[in-house]
């Protein structure tokens, strides 16, 4: 092993640690990787920046714009409205059809966008059809994941793997070349979910009405004791925190700087800040009380607090993947300034933390309890940063261009499927068509684009070049072959598939694909086998992150609304992981060897 190899493996190891711990956002880590590779000379300057101009990066950016156009024009909402009619059928049949439809749509546009739209629809219809929301959301997410893996344009992972394979001289995949294998995975997934999976999902997320739904969930907030409070100079044992089991005092931050876990004898003073958790009803009582104030409700701007705009709407909002709030906290997020809303409490993916709110980072999948200026609520409702989960009447969406946007999508797919244009060119043409037909507001699209994926690719793609430059990919391939022995392609495919699935369950599926695709190609070449099935193995396995809520964005999105726990994904998704692994170990070798 050379010194350069050791450097590359060191970069990979440190990167994985950062991905797992989330100490830094994934796009920042990826950008850092690019800088380190350039500074150490492991890649040339041209290789270091090629991620920004890579075909996969450009294609993904164009397809994001197309997907945003379908959403803005109302095309996806139109489909969602039709989905509601399915649930007049028997539940098992309705879920089967729903999963087929979601998978089909996800084969052409972002699975995250599909889940966001259907999430709001299911939250609305679950109480009407008297079905627990948690029974719908995991099937929704898993169908979107599988559907995305069924075509070349279905996920960014597929495009990245295809680009890496092409750069190493192994040709492009056609847009539907592997759809048959993907369809087998989809059928197996639907059968499993309808027959077994749904029964394993606990019915936690009741959607009875707004108040009852909130009662099931505890929220974390920071209160300040003001001069009117009856708690001043009293011990905790004599306050409502001791007498009321629906609200809990977690920590006291005294105005003199001391931090205390509350004992019965701890005295509360004016100006103390109290970290508490409670349900919506308690939050409402606090909201209208005079003894304490939400810390982040103070110091509103004059416009926001003016008499004509004082009427507020209390709502909860799910943080979406491309939200400007991700990575910030209550102090730095500028929610009041940017969104004309006051953050009152936060729900941290079913966890309670023991710090001041301004020290807590906002993450994808968190739920904020917000007080929104009524005059601004319609604008707030449509912001791409949040998914408003409260049961409000839907605001009108301009749907005049929905059929044009659908026609553009069909044209894009047809041009690529029939080999008339490469997928990158057809995707760019589709994005341009969306803009000139005003199916997409390009300025709003800039805000909705998930730029973190673009920077993730720009930073990670050079790492693949560094592995090739130093021979690290060949070294790993040699160790893999030595470990597995006799060169049986079924054994190789099976081992590579399960390893990739496990790895993508904990770090970004795109990062997993970039790291392992060169290794998979090297394994095939050194074994004298066709690289294509090895490339497909990485493509499918990197997408299939079922057994954790953090491996794939759609799983993260449904975690809080479905009231799921990590073990729910481990059980339901773990069994599906094993099923897909066994199926891949049989089908992929049969198709190519």
- pLDDT digit string (tens) for 124-134? 778 777 888 89
Tens of pLDDT, residue by residue over 515-541, are 899 999 999 998 889 999 999 999 999
Phi/psi for 225 (5° steps) reads: -75, 120
Question: Worst-scoring range by mean pLDDT, 263-267, 336-340, 547-551?
Answer: 336-340
Task: Report the C-alpha gap between 480 and 492 in whole angstroms.
Answer: 9
8 Å CB contact between 229 and 292: yes
- The answer on pLDDT for 156 being more than 70 is yes
Helices (H) and strands (E) in the chain, counts: 28, 11
Scored b (16 or more CB within 10 A) or e, 115-149 reads: bbbbbbbbbbbbbeeebbbbbbbbbbbbbbbbbbb
Nearest-CA neighbor of 16 among 30, 37, 2?
30
Alpha helices in 45-133 (DSSP H): 45-53, 55-72, 75-84, 91-106, 111-129
Q: Which residues pair with 268 in a beta bridge?
A: 234
Q: What is the pLDDT of residues 198-227, one digit of tens each?
A: 999 987 655 444 334 433 356 677 888 888
pLDDT-derived band of residue 302, with 50, 70 and 90 as boundaries?
A: very low
Over 50: is that where the pLDDT of 253 sits?
A: yes
Q: For 6-10, 35-39, 275-279, 498-502, which range has the lowest pLDDT when averaged over its residues?
A: 275-279
Give tens-digit pLDDT for 37-95: 999 999 999 888 888 888 888 988 998 899 888 877 878 777 766 777 788 889 999 99
User: Ranked by mean pLDDT, which of 255-259, 278-282, 562-566, 571-575 comes out on top?
Assistant: 571-575
pLDDT tens-digit series, residues 489-512 = 999 999 999 999 999 988 888 889
Among candidates 14, 79, 5, which has minimal Cα distance to 476? 5
CA distance 515 to 511: 6
CA distance 80 to 98: 10
Q: Which domains does the chain have, with CATH numbers?
A: 3-34+61-205+405-592 (no CATH), 210-388 (3.30.70.1450)
Highest mean pLDDT among 239-248, 255-264, 292-301, 510-519: 510-519
With beta carbons less than 8 A apart as the criterion, state whether 363 and 318 touch.
Answer: no
SS3 annotation, 481-528: HHHHCCCCHHHHHHHHHHHHHHHHCCCCHHHHHHHHHHHHHHHHHHHC
Q: How many residues does the chain have?
A: 593
User: pTM to 2 decimals?
Assistant: 0.71
Determine the pLDDT at residue 287. 62
Question: Is pLDDT of 305 > 70?
Answer: no
Which tokens hold the place of 568? Answer: 């729910």
Q: Reply yes or no on whether the pLDDT at 352 is more than 80.
A: no
The count of other CB atoms within 10 Å of the CB of residue 285 is 14
Lowest mean pLDDT among 157-166, 223-232, 279-288, 457-466: 279-288
pLDDT at 360: 78
d(CA 112, CA 108) in angstroms, rounded, equals: 12
Lowest mean pLDDT among 224-228, 309-313, 317-321, 487-491: 309-313
Of residues 240 and 4, the one with the higher pLDDT is: 4
| 540-582 pLDDT per residue, tens | 999 998 998 877 888 888 888 888 888 899 999 999 999 999 9
Does pLDDT of 194 surpass 90?
yes
Q: In terms of DSSP H, where are the helices of 171-321?
A: 179-192, 198-200, 210-215, 240-243, 280-288, 302-305
| CB contact at 8 A, 188 and 579 | yes
Tell me how far apart the alpha carbons of residues 193 and 475 are, in angstroms, rounded to a whole number. Answer: 40
Place of tokens 């390009």: 442
Structure-model confidence comparison of residues 550 and 394, the more confident one: 550
Stated as kind and residue range, the H or E segment containing 447 is helix 442-448
Helix, coil or strand: residue 450: coil
Residue 299 confidence (pLDDT) above 50: no
Contacts by residues 181-185 (CB-CB < 8 Å, ≥ 24 positions apart): 181/536, 181/540, 181/587, 181/588, 181/591, 182/107, 182/146, 182/149, 182/150, 182/151, 182/540, 183/150, 184/583, 184/587, 185/146, 185/149, 185/150, 185/540, 185/544, 185/580, 185/583, 185/584
Bridge partners, 368 (sequence order): 317, 346
Residues 153-176 have a mean pLDDT of 87
pLDDT of residue 399: 45
pLDDT, mean over the chain = 82
The Cα–Cα gap between 291 and 548 comes to 43
pLDDT at position 285 is: 67
pLDDT 10s digits, 104-116: 999 988 888 788 8
- At residue 400, does pLDDT exceed 80? no
Quick one: how far is CA 255 from the chain centroid? 39
């Amino acid at each position: 092993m050379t010194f350069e190899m050791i450097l590359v493996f060191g970069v990979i190891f440190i990167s994985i640690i950062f991905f797992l711990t989330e100490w830094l956002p994934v796009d920042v880590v990826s950008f850092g990787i690019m800088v380190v590779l350039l500074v150490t000379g492991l890649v040339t300057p041209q290789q270091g920046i090629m991620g920004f101009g890579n075909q996969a990066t450009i294609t993904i950016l164009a397809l994001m714009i197309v997907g945003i156009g379908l959403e803005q024009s109302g095309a996806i909402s139109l489909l969602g409205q039709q989905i509601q009619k399915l649930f007049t059928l028997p539940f098992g049949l309705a879920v089967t059809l729903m999963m087929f439809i979601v998978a089909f749509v996800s084969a052409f546009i972002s699975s995250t966008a599909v889940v966001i739209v259907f999430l709001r629809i299911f939250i609305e219809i679950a109480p009407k059809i008297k079905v627990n929301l948690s029974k719908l959301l995991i099937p929704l997410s898993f169908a979107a994941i599988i559907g995305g893996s069924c075509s070349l344009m279905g996920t960014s992972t597929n495009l990245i793997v295809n680009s890496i394979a092409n750069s190493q001289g192994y040709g492009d995949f056609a847009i539907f070349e592997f759809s048959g294998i993907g369809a087998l995975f989809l059928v197996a997934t639907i059968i499993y979910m309808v027959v077994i999976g749904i029964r394993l999902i606990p019915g936690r997320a009741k959607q009875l009405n707004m108040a009852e739904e909130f009662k099931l969930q505890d929220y974390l907030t920071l209160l300040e004791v003001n001069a009117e409070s009856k708690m001043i100079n009293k011990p905790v044992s004599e306050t409502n925190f001791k007498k009321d089991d629906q609200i809990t005092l977690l920590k006291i931050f005294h105005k003199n700087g001391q931090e205390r876990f509350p004992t019965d004898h701890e005295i509360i003073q004016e100006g103390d800040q109290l970290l508490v958790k409670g349900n919506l009803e308690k939050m409402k009582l606090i909201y209208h009380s005079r003894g304490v104030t939400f810390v982040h409700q103070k110091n509103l701007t004059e416009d926001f607090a003016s008499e004509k705009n004082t009427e507020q709407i209390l709502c909860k909002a799910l943080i979406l993947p491309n939200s400007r709030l991700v990575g910030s906290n209550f102090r730095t997020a500028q929610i009041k300034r940017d969104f004309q809303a006051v953050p009152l409490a936060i729900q941290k993916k079913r966890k309670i933390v023991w710090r001041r709110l301004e020290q807590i980072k906002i993450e994808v999948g968190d739920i904020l309890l917000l007080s929104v200026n009524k005059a601004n609520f319609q604008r707030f409702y449509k912001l791409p940063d949040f998914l408003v989960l409260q049961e409000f009447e839907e605001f009108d969406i301009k749907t005049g261009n929905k059929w044009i946007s659908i026609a553009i999508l069909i044209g894009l797919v047809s041009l690529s499927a029939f080999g008339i244009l490469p997928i990158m060119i057809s995707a760019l043409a589709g994005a341009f068509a969306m803009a000139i037909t005003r199916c997409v507001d390009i300025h709003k699209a800039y805000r909705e684009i998930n730029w973190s994926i673009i920077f993730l690719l720009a930073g990670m793609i050079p790492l693949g070049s560094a592995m090739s430059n130093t021979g690290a990919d060949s070294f790993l391939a040699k160790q893999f072959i030595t470990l597995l022995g006799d060169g049986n392609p079924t054994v190789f495919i099976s081992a590579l598939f399960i390893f990739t699935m496990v790895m993508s369950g904990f770090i970004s599926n795109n990062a997993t694909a970039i790291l392992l695709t060169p290794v998979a190609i090297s394994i095939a070449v050194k074994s004298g086998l066709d690289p294509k099935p090895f490339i497909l193995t990485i493509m499918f396995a990197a997408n299939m992150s079922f057994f954790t809520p953090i491996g794939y964005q759609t799983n993260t999105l449904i975690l809080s609304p479905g009231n799921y726990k990590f073990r729910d994904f481990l059980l339901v998704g773990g069994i599906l992981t094993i099923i897909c692994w066994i199926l891949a170990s049989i089908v992929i070798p049969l198709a190519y060897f």
